[in-house]
Structure 1
Amino acid sequence: MKKIHILLILITLSLSLIGCTDKPGKGSSGNTAEAVDITDEALLDSVQRRTFNYFWDGAEPVSGMARERYHVDGEYPENDKNVVTSGGSGFGIMAIVAGIDRGYITREQGVERFTKIINFLEKADSYHGVFPHWWYGETGKVKGFSGKDNGGDLVETSFLMQGLLALHQYYINGSDAEKALAARVDKLWKNVDWNWHRNGQNVLYWHWSPEHSWEMNFPIRGYNECLITYILAACSPTHDAPSEVYHEGWAENNKIVAPHQLEGYNLNLRYQSNSGAGPLFWAHYSFLGLNPNGLKDRYTNYFEEMKNYTLINRAYCIRNPKEFKGYGEDLWGLTASYSVKGYSAHEPSEDGDLGVIAPTAALSSIVYTPEESMKVMRKLYSMKDKVWGEYGFYDAFSETGEWYPKRYLAIDQGTTAVMIENYRSQLLWKLFMSHPDVQRGLKKLGFESPSLN
């Protein structure tokens, strides 16, 4: 009996020590022992697999496309439950490609789903080959993003095309059915009239509407999430924008270069934000397929720029000038997400910080800050009874506001799944960068990259 009693004491002490390794903070669930025990690889796979399921099990059933949002509570804006998103579906296509490669689904299942998606895109509303931000998934009819934004959205189209070009490369040397899908993707890609969105100028405009024409009047300037839009415009084999559009429009004749320092880190670019930086998705959306490693042009080194940009976001959260609950080395990341005050593009400034952490912010930054991002992933996993559901971590939460909505957004789930895969294998980077049109376009714009032949 004495030996048994001693053994029980030792077990109790061991469990206590495991719990002390990474104590759950206020608002955490106390699942810390499990978060400590799981290996990095198992944790990464668990997060990626669940997040992939947003685009697989959670897809809109008629179109196969990614729903704009999924609310576990069943409460949606009017007529919004089956609204699908072009950009979020581009991210989802890449997440599904990674899922096939990981064995989450079979190649045959992938062909079936992508056939449904391509069928939808070939018939859905588009304008000069440019897709809208949203459609109704059952019909393919446009749903206006706002009053005058009910036509072509060039930026969201570029996010979709980034995913489709990666899919093209995954299928180009596959089975007959896969090759046939790759050929259909190629037609969609070649049909996008990037030059139409110049409106006769050396700059790209974000929106065009058949009813309101160019009234949105939104020229795309750098730096924000739209680098990929200009790159793909230069890459098109049928409607390619000349390099002057990139240098005069996006870079504004070198005005994009504006060296400055925030939180002790150097940035070389001017950001379209009053704070000198912006939300973390600006470091993610363009780089799901575009490999930032060693990527340079006359304006900056993109990996170093985006790494520092991420570290600024983290350092601001650690400094935590507004003293929000929970912020720290293991819980940081401000980006566009749901918010206690509605959807908001949270950023590292006192004006742009509402005390809301979005898991996608740090998790999608894992390619720039692997150790720092893994710390956040483990912390979130220790809080999983509040922030974890069937499709991975919920979109956002606030410990200060005791606010833990069980809701998802496609654009945030997509970057999480894709960047985790790029961190693990670089799969989506390898696919996208291997496309001949991408190779040609990057060279045309004067980019340097180890991925260029």
Structure 2
Amino acid sequence: MKKIISLSIVSLALLTSCTSKQLTENRVSERPRSQLTDNQLMDKVQSDALKYFWDFAEPKSLLGRERYHEDNIYPDNDKHVITTGGSGFGLMTILVGVDRKFIPRQEAVKRLTHIADFLEKADRFHGAWSHWINGETGKVVPFGKKDNGGDLVETAFLVQGMICVREYFKNGNDEEKALAAKMDKLWKGVEWNWYTKGGQKVLYWHWSPTYGWEMNFPLEGYNECLITYVMAAASPDYSIDYDTYNKGWTRNGTYTTDRTKYGLPLYVKHNYAEEYGGPLFWSQYSYLGLDPRQLSDKYVKNYWDLNRNQVSIDYKYCLENPLKFKGYSEKYWGLTAGYTRNKDGSTGYAAHQPMKEDLGVIVPTAALSSMPYTPKESMAFLRYLYEEKPNFIGQAGPYDATSINFNDWFTPRYLAIDQGTIAPMIENYRTGLLWDLFMNAPDIRAGLKKIGFRSEKHKID
């Protein structure tokens, strides 16, 4: 599992070109939170989460910072670190902002064009971007000693967003069409088949010009990385074949399981988390664009059931609360990777998940970004936060990690990869916006067919 954190810095003095005032002018009017309807609450949390990528973006690249700390506790030398995958989620968040008129369409086009121009000049490694990039220079920021080159998974998260931007603006005015063309060129430049390490029937996560393939991380299911195979299959010039998907991702079909939890089938073997299904970001990252509704392949009859069951198992686990943490309930639940409270009271990081790494900490993006799968349960969580736990809410929406168990502890901090899934997944629940954009893209449709996917919802067979 790759989802870990870096250190970066932001200050209110470094707000980007469109100010908080501009953003909030278009948001739902402030009123006592107990009087907000469900739709108004969803508007509020979506527009709040948008601020992470609009107001608090890295000022030169205008991409998403790895993290933002309201408490201003981090070293100055990381203030320009941007995150590739989280920025992909940010592209989709900006689209939500445009579609809901939280931000001006013309300003969004201007910003997205600036982002595309920055990414075109940034370091690339056989077309793939690195996990972290210096927002001032476009140069790679090593994620680890040997992780100083291409990161195929983070790149897949980024180009998932690029496809949505392209589809959203491709029939617009001249400036919008130019933006769509830039995004199209960028995504088509990724050499997915290079990352098979000389033609092996599996994709590899990393390649470094210094260390080559020494990271040696094959992408095998099941976890958050499915979208990487979809994008690789969809590439017009650097595509993978069906065998690479089948032998690599599905392990020749051996990643399926008959295991159930709380009477709910798991369908696949979630890596290192076969009993409960793992942290909830596995049901979110690949599915901001990829629509799981009536989506199937040779081994999974309906990806919707797979994802909904994983979320429902997490919910039922929190209700069971076998470790007896204070506060877990039908309106306070959700375990996924994010910040955590260390034993000494400081802030750390953990892959929160049922039983295996349940530390008494609830990460709000888990339930909020599960809105399509568990709308009633996720809405109860959303309303609870905004109406009963306002101390868990900051400038860019719910803070990354909270705990009633530890005397209403929270960390006044955000992570791009967590905040970036909230607005898109809630919008997919409300209108299917990102799902429709992504699934109707001609290259994506061709790629899905190539590796044996079918979608009754989008007429792909």
Q: TM-score, normalised by structure 1?
A: 0.91
Q: What aligned pairs does 1:366-445 form with structure 2 within 5 A after superposition?
A: 366-402=371-407, 403-445=409-451
For 1:157 and 1:259, locate their aligned partners in 2 and report how far apart those are by CA, in whole Å.
32
- 1:285, CA displacement in angstroms? 0.2
The one-letter code of the counterpart of 1:216 is M
Q: Deviations over 1:80-115 (max 9, x none)?
A: 222101100000000101111111112210111011
- Corresponding residue number in structure 1 for 2:257: 258
Structure 2 match to 1:346: 352
Opposite residue 115 of structure 1, the aligned amino acid is T
- Paired residue for 2:149, among 148, 151, 163? 151
Q: Secondary structure at the match of 2:258?
A: strand
Structure 1 residue 35, shift from structure 2 partner: 4.5
Q: Which residue does 2:272 correspond to in 1?
A: 273
Mapping 1:157-172, distance limit 5 Å: 157-172=155-170
Mapped pair 1:142 → 2:164: no
Moved more, 381-390 or 359-368: 381-390
Which of 347, 365, 370 in structure 1 is aligned with 2:370?
365
* Equivalent-residue separation in structure 2 for 1:225 and 1:77 (angstroms): 30
Classify 1:357/1:220 alpha carbon distance in 2 versus 1 (closer, same or farther; 3 Å): same
Between the two proteins, what is the percent identity of the paired residues? 54
Q: 1:14 corresponds to which residue? A: none
Counterpart residue number, 1:355: 360
The correspondence of residues 77-92 of structure 1 with structure 2, limited to 5 A, is 77=75, 79-92=77-90
Indicate the residue corresponding to 1:12 in structure 2. none
- CA deviations on 1:405-443 (whole Å, 9 max, x unpaired) are 110000111111110111111111111111110000111
Q: Counterparts of 1:93-112 in structure 2 under 5 Å?
A: 93-112=91-110
Alignment coverage as a number of residue pairs: 420
Structure 2 counterpart of 1:6: none
Residue identity matched to 1:100: V
Are the aligned partners of 1:280 and 1:334 in contact in 2 as well (CA < 8 Å)?
A: yes
Provide the C-alpha distance between the structure 2 equivalents of 1:383 and 1:76, rounded to a whole number of angstroms.
Answer: 30
Query: Which sections of structure 1, spanning at least 5 residues, go unmatched?
Result: 1-32
Cα distance between partner residues in 1 of 2:72 and 2:34:
33
Asked whether the equivalents of residues 132 and 142 of structure 1 are also in contact (C-alpha less than 8 Å), the reply is yes
Contact residue 70 and residue 81 of structure 1 kept, 8 A: no
SS in 2 for 1:258: coil
The verdict on how the C-alpha distance between 1:202 and 1:53 changes in structure 2, with shifts beyond 3 A counting, is same
- Between 75-84 and 136-145, the greater mean CA deviation after superposition: 75-84
- Written as runs of structure 1 = structure 2, the 5 A alignment for 1:201-350 is 201-276=200-275, 277-300=277-300, 301-341=302-342, 342-349=348-355
- Higher relative contact order at CA 8 Å, sep ≥6: structure 1 or structure 2? 1
1:451: which partner in 2? 458
Please name the residue that 1:20 is paired with.
none
Tell me the CA shift for residue 275 of structure 1. Answer: 4.3
The amino acid across from 2:221 in the alignment is G
Give a deviation string over 1:2-46, Cα, whole Å, max 9, x none: xxxxxxxxxxxxxxxxxxxxxxxxxxxxxxx94442100000000
The alignment partner of 2:82 has SS state of strand
User: Could you tell me which residue of structure 2 aligns to residue 62 of structure 1?
Assistant: 60
What is the CA deviation profile of residues 328-375 of structure 1, one whole-angstrom value per residue up to 9, with x for unaligned ones? 1111100010011321111112x3101110110001000001011101
Supply the distance in 2 between the matched residues of 1:112 and 1:172 (Cα, whole angstroms): 15
Q: Indicate the residue corresponding to 2:51 in structure 1.
A: 53
Any stretches of 5+ residues in structure 2 without a counterpart?
A: 1-30, 343-347
Q: C-alpha displacement at 1:75, in angstroms?
A: 1.0
Q: What amino acid sits opposite 1:109 in the alignment?
A: E
Matched position secondary structure for 1:138:
coil
Whether contact under 8 Å (1:125, 1:132) holds in the other structure is: yes
Residue of structure 1 equivalent to 2:173: 175
The Cα offsets for residues 247-276 of structure 1, whole Å up to 9 and x where unpaired, read as 000000011111211133111101102443
Q: What amino acid sits opposite 2:427 in the alignment?
A: E
Q: How many angstroms apart in 1 are the aligned matches of 2:315 and 2:92?
A: 27
| Matches of 2:327 and 2:79, distance apart in 1 | 32
CA distance in 2, matches of 1:161, 1:259: 33
Which amino acid letter does the alignment assign opposite residue 451 of structure 2? L
Contact kept? 1:439, 1:452, Cα under 8 Å: no
Deviations 1:111-155 (A, max 9, x none): 110111011100111100000010111111111111111110000
> Does the CA contact (< 8 Å) of 1:234 and 1:242 recur in 2?
yes
Q: Secondary structure at the match of 2:296?
A: coil
Match of 2:27?
none
Higher helix share: 1
Q: CA deviation at 1:171?
A: 1.0
Residue 181 of structure 1 and its aligned partner are, at CA, apart by 1.2
User: Normalising by structure 2, what TM-score?
Assistant: 0.89
Cα distance in 1, alignment partners of residues 32 and 364 from structure 2: 19
C-alpha distance in 2, partners of 1:371/1:180?
41
Corresponding residue of 1:5: none
Alignment RMSD: 1.2
Instruction: Name the residue aligned to 2:38.
Output: 40
